[in-house]
Amino acid sequence: MGAEPQGRTLGQTHATGYDDATRERLAADAAAIIARYPEPRSALLPLLHLLQAEDGYVSPRGIAFAAELLGQTTAEVSAVATFYTQYKRHPNGTYTVGVCTTALCAIMGGDAIWEELVEHLGIGNDETTDDGVITLEHVECNAACDYAPVVMVNWEFFDNQTPASAVALTDDLRAGKPVRPTRGADTVVTFKEMSRVLAGFPDGRADEGDTAGPATLVGLKVAHEHGWAAAPYGDEKEAK
C-alpha cells in the first residue's frame, strides 16, 4: 500500500495535489532549504514561503506537501501557517498593500490613509480587489516610525504617505504601471516573487538603493557631533 501506480509520467497529479513536474521542482527547492538546518522540521517557515511562491497562498495541497516532506501532520503544519500573518490561507492578490496604523503612524495620518483606501478599493482587511491585484492589510507596525505614516507593498517601503498618494499608488498598481519604493529595492515584485525571496532564494535586489535615509540616521549624527558612544552593559561610568 502507498506505492505509486506503475507507468506514471510527468504531468500526472500526485496525491498531494501537485503534478509530478511541479512536485519534482518544489522538492528540489525544498531540499536546498532543508539542507540549511540541522533538523528538517526547522525548515518549515521558509518552506511555507516557498509554497506561497507557487500557489499564491498556503494552500491545502501545500500543507500536505510540507507535512509529507518534513514528517509532520497536516495539523502541525496548519498550526504554524495560521499563527503568522505573512502566511495567507486563501488566494492573495498580486500585491499586498499594508497600511500601518500603530501609534505614530496613526497620529501622522495612517488611520486616514486606511479609511481612504478601504473606501476607494471597496475592500477591508485581508480582502482582495475583484481584479485580483491588491490585497489590503491592516498592519500593526512596519518598523519605520521615522517615516510615518508608512505604507508597504509586498514589504517594500513607501514613506511619508498621504491618503492621496496612497490612492495613486494603488491605482498605478492596478493599471500595471511600475512603482518605485521610497528606499530599498528599485522596483516592487509580485507577492509570489517576494515569497520566493523570503524562502531564501535571493533575486539580486538586496543591495539596490538606500535602506536608511536621513531621518533614520539623525540620532547617529547627533551622537557623532557630541562624541557619544555606546557602552557595554555595566560600563556606563567608564563611557562618561
Whether the per-residue pLDDT at 15 is higher than 60: the answer is: no
What integer best gives the mean pLDDT of the chain? 90
Whether the per-residue pLDDT at 228 is higher than 50: the answer is: yes
Mean local confidence (pLDDT), 108-121: 97
Q: Where in the chain is the domain with CATH 1.10.10?
A: 20-81
Grid cell at residue 192: 509570489
3-state secondary structure of 120: helix
Q: Where in the chain is the domain with CATH 3.40.30.10?
A: 95-189
Which has more confidence, 231 or 64? 64
Whether the per-residue pLDDT at 240 is higher than 90: the answer is: no
What are the tens digits of pLDDT across the range 24-64?
999 999 999 999 999 999 999 999 999 999 999 999 999 99
CATH number for the region 20-81 comes to 1.10.10
3-state secondary structure of 130: coil
> Pick from 156, 152, 144: which is nearest to 113 by CA?
152
Which has more confidence, 181 or 7? 181
Q: What gap in Å lies between CA 114 and CA 44, rounded to an integer?
A: 33
3-state secondary structure of 162: coil
Cα 239 → chain centroid: 40
Q: What gap in Å lies between CA 210 and CA 114, rounded to an integer?
A: 27
Q: What gap in Å lies between CA 240 and CA 233, rounded to an integer?
A: 13
Mean local confidence (pLDDT), 74-103: 95
Q: What is the pTM of this model?
A: 0.84
Whether the per-residue pLDDT at 157 is higher than 90: the answer is: yes
Q: What gap in Å lies between CA 185 and CA 180, rounded to an integer?
A: 8
Write down the pLDDT at residue 231. 77
Residue 235 zone, left/alpha/beta (φ > 0; ψ -120 to 50; rest): alpha
What are the tens digits of pLDDT across the range 162-199?
999 999 999 999 999 999 999 989 999 999 999 999 99
Write down the pLDDT at residue 7. 40
Give the HSE-up count for residue 98: Cα atoms under 13 Å, Cβ half-sphere: 19
Pick the CATH number of 95-189 from 3.40.50.2300, 3.40.30.10, 3.40.50.150, 3.40.50.720: 3.40.30.10
212 band by pLDDT with thresholds 50, 70 and 90: confident
Whether the per-residue pLDDT at 8 is higher than 80: the answer is: no
Scan for cell 500526485, then name that residue. 14
Contact call for residues 56 and 92 (beta carbons, < 8 A):
yes
Own/partner pairs for 205-208, CB < 8 Å, 24+ apart? 208/184
Scan for cell 500500500, then name that residue. 1
Whether the per-residue pLDDT at 6 is higher than 80: the answer is: no
